[in-house]
A and B are shown apart, each in its own frame.
Chain A
Amino acid sequence: MASELAVVGKRLTRPDVAAKATGSALYTTDMTLPGMLTAAVLRSPHAHARIVKIDTSRAAKLPGVMAVLTTRDVPDKLFNMGTSELLIIKKEHLIADQHVLNNPVRYAGEAVAAVAAVDEATAQAALELIEVEYEVLPAVFDPLEAIKPGAPRVHDFAGNNIAQHLSHPYVSGDVEKGFRESDAVIEGTFTTSKQKTAPLEPASCVASFDANGRVTVWSPAQRPFLARRRLGEAFDIPEGKIRWITPLIGGGFGNGASLRAEPICVALAQKTRRPVKLEYSREEQFVATETRTRFVQMVKLGVKKDGTMIALQTRVIADAGAYFSATGSITGVNMAYLLGLYRVPNTAGQADIVYTNTTPSGAVRGYGNPEGMFALEQVVDMAAEKIGMDPMELRLKNHRTTGEPSRSPSITIESCRLAECMQLGAEKIGWKEKRATRNKAGIKRRGLGMAVTTHNAGSFPRMLDYTNATIKLNEDGSANLTAGCCELGQGITGVVSQIAAEALGMHAQDIVVYAGDTDVNEFDAGCVGSRATYNIGNAVVRAASEAKQKLLERAAKMLEAEPGELEAREGRVFFKVAPDKGITIAEVAKDAIYNFKGDAGQISGHCSWEAKWNTPAFEAVFAEVEVDTETGEVRVIKVAQAHDIGRAINPLTVEGQLEGSIMQGMGWALTEDFAVNSKGILESDNFTSYKIPSSMDIPETEVLLVEYPIESGPFGAKSVGECGVNAIAPAIANAISDATGIRLFELPMNPERVLHALHRKEAGGLSY
């Protein structure tokens, strides 16, 4: 590894942006095939209903309609739309509880039937001709109501609607004894919301069977190989008979970690034997794709007067919605982070995963961790207040650090720079000065809050984390890299090209990346779980290093030298002792193909990489807010976010990830509300009713990269994909509390809730 990096660490323009800026980038729905049909889905107006009778005859007779799909036409086989469980080493989370179309339907907006027709207008018209007779069943929308005796049953097998009970696997000590020995015990129950991610591209799919019964699926799935396997399970099609192609993805955020439009689209393609396209509308994207999990978390923390944390307990009710999907593993992750951020000798965690008649929950950026931090990081502040300690001091004293067990106890933390992150963030927000002088009287009050977090790079050791990368050099000195890195807007294409270029001695723009095609790429576990830079990057650096070795060997022959005397950098191979003496990589690569001397051998490298380590990233978030105590409005003035990145492969990309996280975290904290009415109908199903922050709402942000390269990451890199969203909401909550003395236990922390809490405080009620 060169001591001074030529490509890694540079703020290079990403290879995907020119096409995106000019509109020429191709996404799933740009795919058009001869004879392709358009699909549309009929959705349930009821939150829970048995389909007594469905008459499709009028729809089927409409000219241009090629197929109508009902429960009778889909495989009689239960499956799970989520993909995470395929990789879980222990199979305890696995629940298969849905068909491609279900009867009864279990949430308002669930698919009842679907149509494939020659165009969208015809498909839509056909939907209106389908006659459905429903027997409306009692429904339940709140997980706390759902577990009460006598509540409507969502699935027959789940008594009290409890799909699964989980005990946190890494309990330690005796938590009751710990609380008895504590000087202060803080307890709170925190409820999070079913946040919707807002990808520009809604769920979509094109499916086409060939004459041999092999199907090609184009879709913005974040895990093409696992999606292929799930689809195959649902339809009894072997993996080799499915080619899954994930083109550019118009925003992932975890939503593409589950199947969405694909099963219905494939069923229609199978029935019609014609290519079919199904593109969800924005309203369908809201109501019929998975949400963040609503958690009700009771968190209890015991501390000594000197700030030593000695007991921590969580009891969780997780709202799976109508189908289980990945809620089990999300809940496991939630408890693991909540109990694993701090060094606490006595811990315990229990969770019930509960069905309700609402849109299913599933993978969303953070995967249970932001929900846990919203609770834990407020409880930590409450404890600090109770023992009269600076909240930052309390965190510095207790957070797990280098050499201690990570949230997965079998993995020791290789490197933790959380203390530096806290100190840097505190300095940039003016923690000490402003907290000493802030205005706590008057109508508009300012406050500062902080929260810290950690997030793994991938899912090892709980899950298999496996990937492959192959690189080959073309005769002009460019290279093709095939790797698992689906581009969902996060910038991974640029990241892996910089890693490969650095490892091989090339320019990043000479690396062409290809990903997401199960016929061409080798297996990869997907762009999820903050794993891509760390794990795919590790495969890429090794594949490129293997190619580099072959490059140097061939160059050595051409230069009549020993490979060890040579180095490659920025497109050239040269003598280490005489850098101006050498040959271009293009000349070597051309010799490897157009050899004419019986010595052809295209330069390539391959790496099959199964993660055996996991070094988490750490982060400190500081927020300054202004609360209007008459309206309850919270204005975020500034967010300073310091992230322990190891090394930023491309600082621009890392900063982009973090700035996006701030916005997504702010939306979840303050405005985004998955509002379901008393009948279970989603009322916020577009961007007029469901408010994400826009460029007009962004506060001053200061994104700070703390760079200490680590051994186990490619060129020292850690992960960044999810970590940034974890600590935004609790930092804002703590700032609101600092400004006003109120404590908010439910998301979103909208003005209505803030004002209500302020009124309660004025009336002499407990602030918490």
Chain B
Amino acid sequence: MPRVLQPFEYLEPRSAAEATRILADYGTRAKAMAGGVDLLPRIRQRKICPEVIVSIQNIPGLDSIKEERGQLRIGALVTLHTAELDRLIKERYTALHEAVHHLASVQVKTMATLVGNLCVATPASDMAAALFVLGASLVVVSPDKERAIPIEQFFLKPGQTALQPGELVTEIVVPAPAPDSGSAFLKLVRTAADIAKVNAAVCLTVDGDACKEARIALGSVAPTTIRAPRAEAAIKGQKLTGDTIQAAARAAEAESRPITDVRSNADYRREMSGLLVGRAIKIAFQRARGQHE
């Protein structure tokens, strides 16, 4: 295994427009880079060999978290560390906070960005699961247009996103949580700084004991992060009891399509998909009802 990086050209555009022009010109020969924590090791391992790396670090305006018209907007240069410390995310977008908080080591958190993590398109992305249930979308710019991609349409398969050549993700947009809603994120790992064996995120809107709306997502148990619609159906419009939660957990188990790899095996992942969904429902339910665990 080589220890050195293959040579590449390194460019630092000053605007998103300039970045997208470069990305459009070079097409698949170029890669955009924010923190570089995933990109550089993959270049070293020869999994990819870009001729040009387009750093977006010098593009102004991408490094902030703000709330505008009830929406949370997270720029493409916001690091996990910054997001972890953000009070708004912690108080209102709990699943996302939990996903960021439990991810990786401090060293990685200070380099890695949320958007960068999503663009890697790993099926194990913790942020993706949280953003699925929070209903997020991504703002994508190209030389001639801007579009929004709902996060559920962003991942095509492992390592592949819906981005076209010349497109750059500039922001994550998360709608304001509904009143009487609560979210939770859980995962299983080998050590504290590890990629999830299984992760699960749940966001519920409740009316008393009943579940009005439910969004459930699972990661690391399918080629991309997935919603678990049958699990959602098992509790939507239902009273949240041991039985309905158990039914949702069983459905989630059935909806998972895990593989065996170096981190875990398929049977364990399937069983844990249900377990984590059940646990996350209970936590999200308590949060939605304003109770604290």
Contacts and interface: CB of A to CB of B under 8 A. Distances in A.
B2 A124 contact: yes
Nearest to B265: A752
A252 to B, nearest CB: 21
A120 B262 contact: no
A326 B92 CA distance: 59
A752 B264 contact: yes
Contacts of B195: 688
B192 interface: yes
B76 to A, nearest CB: 24
Interface string B249-276: 0000000000001111100100110010
A124 B49 CA distance: 14
Contacts of B191: 671, 691-694, 696-697
Contact of B192 (A282, A684, A688, A696): A696
Given A694-B192, A697-B191, A751-B188, A284 B1 contact: yes
Interface in B110-137: none
Interface in A640-676: 671, 673, 675
Contacts of A631: 188, 272, 275
A689 B262 contact: yes
Nearest to A285: B1
Contact of A283 (B1, B4, B261): B1
Contacts of A555: none
Contacts of A632: 268
A308 interface: no
Contacts of A755: 268, 271
Contact of B268 (A124, A671, A752): A752
B194 interface: yes
B164 interface: no
Contacts of A279: 3
A281 interface: yes
Given A631-B188, A675-B262, A120 B105 contact: no
B292 interface: no
A495 B275 CA distance: 52
Nearest to B1: A283
A659 to B, nearest CB: 17
Interface string B163-195: 000000000000000000000000010111111
B4 A124 contact: yes
Contact of B275 (A283, A630, A684, A692): A630
A115 to B, nearest CB: 12
A750 B190 contact: yes
Interface string B1-35: 11110110000000000000000000000000000
Contacts of B192: 694, 696-697
Interface in A680-708: 683-685, 688-689, 691-694, 696-697
Contacts of B194: 691
B105 A671 contact: no
Contact of A696 (B7, B105, B262, B268): B105
A633 B188 contact: yes
Contacts of B3: 120, 279, 281
Contacts of A671: 190-191
Nearest to B3: A281
Contacts of B275: 630-631
B35 to A, nearest CB: 16
A121 interface: yes
A473 B225 CA distance: 69
Interface in B20-75: none
A692 B191 CA distance: 7
B207 to A, nearest CB: 29
Given A120-B3, A752-B268, A694 B262 contact: no
A410 B275 CA distance: 57
Nearest to B272: A631
Interface in A708-722: none
A284 B271 CA distance: 35
A675 B265 CA distance: 12
Interface string A274-293: 00000101111000000000
A261 to B, nearest CB: 13
Nearest to A759: B271
Given A688-B195, A694-B191, A751-B268, A281 B262 contact: no
B2 A120 contact: yes
A274 B7 CA distance: 26
Interface in A746-768: 750-752, 755
A282 B7 CA distance: 20
A694 B261 CA distance: 22
A729 to B, nearest CB: 16
Interface string A293-314: 0000000000000000000000
Contacts of B193: 694, 696
Given A631-B188, A697-B192, A750-B190, A684 B262 contact: yes
A40 B1 CA distance: 9
* Most chain A Cβ neighbours within 10 Å, of B4, B190, B262, B275: B190
Interface string A589-611: 00000000000000000000000
A67 B166 CA distance: 44
Interface in A728-756: 750-752, 755
B66 to A, nearest CB: 30
A154 B135 CA distance: 56
A630 B198 CA distance: 14
A631 B263 CA distance: 14
Nearest to A633: B188
Contacts of B1: 281-284, 685
Contacts of A684: 262
Contacts of B261: 683
A692 B3 CA distance: 21
Contacts of A751: 188, 268
A285 to B, nearest CB: 10
B2 A691 contact: no
Contacts of B264: 752
A683 B262 contact: yes
Contacts of A121: 4, 6-7
B18 to A, nearest CB: 30
A124 B7 CA distance: 13
Contacts of B7: 121
* Most chain A Cβ neighbours within 10 Å, of B3, B7, B265: B3
A688 B194 CA distance: 7
Nearest to B7: A121
Contacts of A630: 275
A694 B194 CA distance: 10
Nearest to A694: B193
Contacts of A696: 105, 191-193
A121 B2 CA distance: 8
Contacts of B271: 755
A684 B188 CA distance: 18
A306 B275 CA distance: 45
B195 to A, nearest CB: 7
Interface in A123-161: 124
Contacts of B268: 632, 751-752, 755
A553 B47 CA distance: 70
25 contacts: A40-B2, A120-B4, A121-B7, A281-B3, A282-B1, A283-B1, A284-B1, A631-B272, A631-B275, A671-B191, A673-B262, A683-B262, A688-B195, A691-B191, A691-B194, A694-B105, A694-B192, A694-B193, A696-B191, A696-B193, A697-B192, A750-B190, A752-B265, A752-B268, A755-B271
Top-9 shortest CB links A-B: A696-B192, A283-B1, A281-B1, A691-B190, A683-B262, A691-B191, A752-B268, A281-B3, A671-B190
Interface of A: 40, 120-121, 124, 279, 281-284, 630-633, 671, 673, 675, 683-685, 688-689, 691-694, 696-697, 750-752, 755
Given A40-B2, A281-B1, A752-B264, 14 more contacts: A120-B3, A121-B4, A124-B2, A124-B4, A281-B2, A284-B1, A631-B188, A632-B268, A685-B1, A689-B263, A691-B191, A692-B191, A694-B191, A752-B268
